[in-house]
């Protein structure tokens, strides 16, 4: 299954879970936020589809996805992305042990896969 098709499937899942997924151009990393009581997942149109998929996967990670149907290939892709993120996060956390939590938050927000949306 292509990356674009997985993004489309996960976008549909997010909608079924009452979340809005928006793909827009701008100077932001993308991620999950709340706008007027609505959960919104922002994807940057300028980012490669692989980065958009990583942002979407992180944004959905703590959702009760066992309550919705996911195609096996989509579920497999999610689990693979989460495992990769755990490996990456583990390395980043080890190098940030001596930093303050404020510094760590800044370092995490600079990642292109950061779940936080940033606008300049």
Mean pLDDT by 10 residues, the chain (120 residues): 96 95 94 94 96 95 93 95 79 40 38 44
pLDDT for 57: 95
Assess if residue 114 is contained within a domain: no
Assess if residue 116 is contained within a domain: no
pLDDT for 88: 63
Written as six digits, the tokens of 111 are 């990642």
pLDDT for 87: 86
pTM of the full predicted structure?
0.69
Helices (H), the chain: 3-16, 49-60, 72-95, 101-109
pLDDT for 46: 96
| Count of domains forming the chain | 1
Assess if residue 119 is contained within a domain: no
Assess if residue 46 is contained within a domain: yes
Q: Which domain holds residue 70?
A: 3-109
Rounded Cα distance, 63 and 5, in Å: 20
Assess if residue 90 is contained within a domain: yes
For tokens 């495992």, what's the residue? 83
CA angle 53, 58, 63 (to 5 degrees): 115
Assess if residue 115 is contained within a domain: no
Assess if residue 77 is contained within a domain: yes
Assess if residue 42 is contained within a domain: yes
């Amino acid at each position: 299954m292509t990356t674009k098709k997985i993004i489309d499937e996960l976008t549909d899942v997010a909608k079924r879970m009452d979340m809005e997924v928006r793909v827009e151009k701008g100077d932001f990393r993308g991620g999950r936020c709340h706008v007027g009581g609505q959960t919104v997942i922002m994807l940057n149109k300028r980012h490669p589809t692989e980065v958009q998929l990583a942002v979407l996967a992180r944004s959905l990670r703590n959702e009760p996805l066992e309550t919705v149907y996911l195609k096996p290939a989509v579920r497999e892709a999610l689990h693979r992305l989460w495992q990769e993120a755990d490996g990456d996060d583990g390395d980043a956390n080890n190098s940030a042990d001596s930093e303050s939590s404020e510094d760590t938050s800044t370092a995490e927000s600079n990642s292109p896969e950061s779940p936080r949306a940033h606008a300049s």
